[in-house]
Amino acid sequence: MAEFQRRKGSETRDLILSFAESAVLEKGFGGTSIDELIAAVGITKSGFFYHFKDKNELAKALLQQYLDREEELFDRLFERADDLNDDPLHGFLVFLKLLAEILSDLPKTHPGCLVSAFCYQDQLFSSEIRELNAAGVLRWRQRFLERLELIARHYPPKIKVDMSDLADMVTGIIEGGIVISRSVRDKDVLPQQVLLFRRFVRSVFLGN
């Protein structure tokens, strides 16, 4: 007996993470039970605790994976955008357009952002996770700020804005757009917000 599937281990772990991510984005972390995850993956509770020592470890792995994937996505998009155009401003504008296209091509409304989800349940987690979350947002700020400062050196802003705030606005517009899209169940709001932000960037640096 006991003919359980033998998997590569990391495969099982990834399966848990994958089910957990969508469950957490739909029901919150506190509303997601370990029992439902092991039922979905097809392992026992002991199996779960073999991979994660407790629920907090699951949360950490979830967030870390999410941040890594986002970092990769932004890398890829910036690369593609700058490939098409080596002017920093137009590269950024292409980046925003590519981002809007990807969001628009999604089959359903955006599944949600773990950073937002976690910041609305942060007292459930260890301070380590809260710091990881903050570091993720600061990383985005840094990334966009660097690009904006580069742009500003070539295109003196027509409108006086703080570049740090404008960098945060990229993150904010996405987080806010996701919330609206999810809430009203209209997947197009998010890409529209990105494109509207793009108009703002144009008007800041080009004045139209």
Partner DNA sequence: AGCATTGGTGTACCTGTGGTACAGTAACCA
Partner DNA sequence: TGGTTACTGTACCACAGGTACACCAATGCT
* Residue 166: Cβ within 10 Å count: 20
Give the distance from CA 111 to its chain's centroid: 10
Is 53 a residue that touches a second copy (CB under 8 A)? Answer: no
14 binds, among a second copy, DNA, none (CB under 5 to 8 A by kind): none
Q: For DNA, which is the closer residue by CB, 42 or 207? A: 42
Task: Please give the Cα distance from 29 to 107 (Å, whole number).
Answer: 25
Cβ–Cβ under 8 Å, residues 81 and 98: yes
Which long-range contacts does 123-131 make (Cβ < 8 Å, 24+ apart)?
Answer: 124/29, 124/30, 124/59, 125/29, 125/56, 125/59, 126/56, 126/60, 128/60, 129/56, 129/59, 129/60, 129/63
Q: For DNA, which is the closer residue by CB, 38 or 99? A: 38
Among 44, 142, 183, 203, binds DNA (CB under 7 A): 44
110 binds, among DNA, a second copy, none (CB under 5 to 8 A by kind): none
Which of positions 81-140 make contact with a second copy (CB under 8 A)? Answer: 112, 115-117, 119-124, 133-134, 136-138
Which of positions 160-199 make contact with a second copy (CB under 8 A)? Answer: 160-162, 165-166, 168-169, 171-177, 179-180, 182-185, 189, 192-193, 195-196, 199
Binding span for a second copy by CB under 8 A among 28-36, 38-46, 66-74, 75-83: 28-36
Taking each helix axis as running N to C, give the angle between helix 163-184 and helix 127-154, from 0 to 180 degrees, rounded to the nearest 10: 120
Is 32 a residue that touches a second copy (CB under 8 A)? Answer: yes
* Residue closest to 178 by CA, chosen among 125, 131, 117: 117
Enumerate binding residues for a second copy (CB under 8 A). 25-32, 112, 115-117, 119-124, 133-134, 136-138, 159-162, 165-166, 168-169, 171-177, 179-180, 182-185, 189, 192-193, 195-196, 199-200, 203-204, 208
